[in-house]
Amino acid sequence: MVYRAGLIGCGGVSRSHSAGLQAARNVELVTLADVYEPNLETAGKAYGVDRLYTDFREMIEREQLDIIAICTQAPQHAPIAIAAAVMGVKGIICEKPIALTPAEADAMIAACDRAGTKLAINHQTRMIPNTFLVEQILKEGVIGDLRAARLIDKGGRPAGNSLMELLTHVFDLLRIYAGDPAWVSAHLTVGASGPGRQDEPQRLAAIDDVVYSQTAWPRDRDCGLVLGDRCNATFGFGPRENWHNGLTASLESYFQPIRSSTGEPWHPNLELVGTDGILFLGGTSNHVDVYLHRGAWAPPGKLERFDAPPREIAPGPYQERGQQAPYHTGMVEELVAAIEQGREHRSSGRAGRWALEMIMGVYESHRRGGARVELPLAYRGHPLQRWLEEDGRPLPPKPEARVKVLNVPAPVG
């Protein structure tokens, strides 16, 4: 069977999704939708797709789609996913973060469960062969018992924005190995005279510092209410059968320049610390470099680089098929497998919801003075909105939505 696919939201990330959908086996990208016609037309020409719609519902209905890719910004993820599930699509790949609140994520998962729709969240890092390799290394006991993890952000955005836009990938990566966190304790800080002052000593972020993401960082996407320039958080994980006997993971996120003084880019990184060694994972999204330090802790000495043999370790030959966007291709082929085998996607809606749970847990803990907060959260709304509401304050002013014009290389073919 060939699965008919449609893409919704023809902005920047649609470039990788169109490439992934076009390279995947047994999938045909037949149609595109965007409310902003200039992007729709540019994408149509660039991706060689001529069935174009400004209304995604009309597109799904007329084109009898099996699969959709939701490439809009976060506020549209839940309404589009829920509508598409109700309309009967078989599979959805939705961009990260899954949604703006746990309640929205719950509604997406419930709608997909009711309709029998497979929901995948585009934490495409999960399709990188090295992430499978790390699973194997841990299970073979190469670093002994996993005892701790450390996550460091790459910077370049206020921590509040990064939680929703970048750290969602790193939280998801950690969860492959650590499982579901049981609790979080966190603090968010800003410069002494307010947010955005990286040159000043830090103070705890206050209720007046809660803003919309595009106020905090005008170049960023709309990912709802955010708080803080820096973030320190500790997550606790209970024992996980065949994996570990419980561990804590600490996060450091700084609003610092994205390049070092020598011009090298920073990558977000994750260290997995065991009794017999440490695994260093650098990167997310389109690469994860893996290095191993054998032995008990020691000043950094000789690190061994590990690279997975892609075909042998990850399912299917998507790495070779999708040269332009191999892991997006992997996400699509994994979705087809999930539909045909009636099972969850490796990057399922439930996994995507856990990443959001960890982000909202950071906010909830900070709201409660750094208290240890149990996960999953009992309150399913946005903790920052709750903080404002309980203090009798209005929501902060929301900046006007900015349309980003799609910029694509020369049309394909």
Ligand X SMILES: NC(=O)c1ccc[n+]([C@@H]2O[C@H](COP(=O)([O-])OP(=O)(O)OC[C@H]3O[C@@H](n4cnc5c(N)ncnc54)[C@H](O)[C@@H]3O)[C@@H](O)[C@H]2O)c1
Nearer Cβ to ligand X (141/265): 265
CA distance 306 to 223: 35
- State the nearest-atom distance from the C-beta of 293 to ligand X, in Å: 28
Q: Which residues pair with 18 in a beta bridge?
A: none
Amino acid at 308: A
Among 4, 18, 95, 283, binds ligand X (CB under 6 A): 95
Q: Closer CB to ligand X, residue 221 or residue 346? A: 221
Alpha carbon of residue 16 to chain centroid: 15
- Closest CB to ligand X among residues 95, 271: 95
Select the residue interacting with ligand X from 22, 76, 101, 189 (CB under 6 A): 76
Q: In angstroms, what is the minimal distance from the CB of 329 to ligand X?
A: 13
The percent of the chain in helix, strand and coil, each rounded to the nearest 5, is 35, 25, 40
Q: Provide, rounded to whole angstroms, the least separation between the CB of residue 5 and ligand X.
A: 15
Using CB atoms within 10 A of its CB, is residue 355 exposed (0-12), middle (13-18) or buried (19+)?
Answer: buried
Find the part of the chain contacting ligand X (CB under 6 A) among 30-38, 236-244, 267-275, 287-295: 30-38
Q: Give yes or no for residue 33 binding ligand X (CB under 6 A).
A: yes
Helix 102-115 vs helix 349-367: crossing angle, to nearest 10:
160
Cα–Cα distance measured from residue 314 to residue 133, given in angstroms and rounded to the nearest whole number: 9
> Which one, 125 or 189, has the nearer CB to ligand X?
125
If the CB atoms of residues 121 and 247 are measured against ligand X, the closer one turns out to be 121
* 377 belongs to the binding site for ligand X (CB under 6 A): no
- Among 238, 250, 278, 248, smallest CA distance to 150 is for 250
Tell me which of 153, 165, 172, 229 binds ligand X, using CB under 6 A. Answer: 165
- Region for residue 42 given its phi and psi (left: phi exceeds 0; alpha: psi -120 to 50; beta: otherwise): alpha
User: By CB under 6 A, is residue 74 in contact with ligand X?
Assistant: yes
Q: In this chain, which of 25, 28, 36, 386 binds ligand X, going by CB under 6 A? A: 36
Query: Pick from 39, 130, 162, 329: which binds ligand X (CB under 6 A)?
Result: 39
Closest to ligand X by CB, 167 or 308: 167
In the region spanning residues 215 to 234, those forming contacts with ligand X, defined by CB under 6 A, are 221
User: HEC string of 145-213?
Assistant: CEEEEEEECCCCCCHHHHHHHHHHHHHHHHHHHHCCEEEEEEEEEEECCECCCCCCCEEECCHHHCEEH
In this complex, which beta carbon is closest to ligand X, that of residue 18 or of residue 122? 122
* Cβ-closest position to ligand X: 11
Q: Which is nearer to ligand X, 2 or 403 (CB)?
A: 403
Q: What is the residue whose two structure tokens read 């209304």? A: 55
Which amino acid, one-letter code, is at 90? K
Among 18, 101, 122, 214, binds ligand X (CB under 6 A): 122
Facing residues of 269 across strands?
152, 282
Q: Does 399 interact with ligand X (rule: CB under 6 A)? A: no
- CB-wise, 75 or 370, nearer to ligand X? 75
Per-residue DSSP letter, 397: P
Distance between CA 390 and CA 384 in Å, rounded? 10
Contact pick of 31, 101, 124, 329 for ligand X (by CB under 6 A) = 124
By CB under 6 A, residue 404 contacts ligand X: yes
139 lines the binding site for ligand X (CB under 6 A): no
Nearer to ligand X, 117 or 162 (CB): 162
Beta carbons within 8 Å of 402's beta carbon, 6+ residues apart: 214
Closest CA to 97 of 81, 73, 118: 73
Contact indicator for 406, 11 with CB cutoff of 8 Å: yes
Q: Using the rule CB under 6 A, is 287 a contact of ligand X?
A: no
Contacting residue, 18, 31, 42, 72, with ligand X by CB under 6 A = 72
- 166 lies in the site for ligand X, by CB under 6 A: no
Position among 21, 27, 68, 71 found at the interface with ligand X (CB under 6 A): 71
Q: Is 411 helix (H, G, I), strand (E, B) or coil?
A: coil
Contact flag: residue 73 with ligand X (CB under 6 A): yes
Q: Enumerate binding residues for ligand X (CB under 6 A).
A: 8-13, 33-36, 39, 56, 71-74, 76, 95-96, 122, 124, 165, 221, 285, 403-404
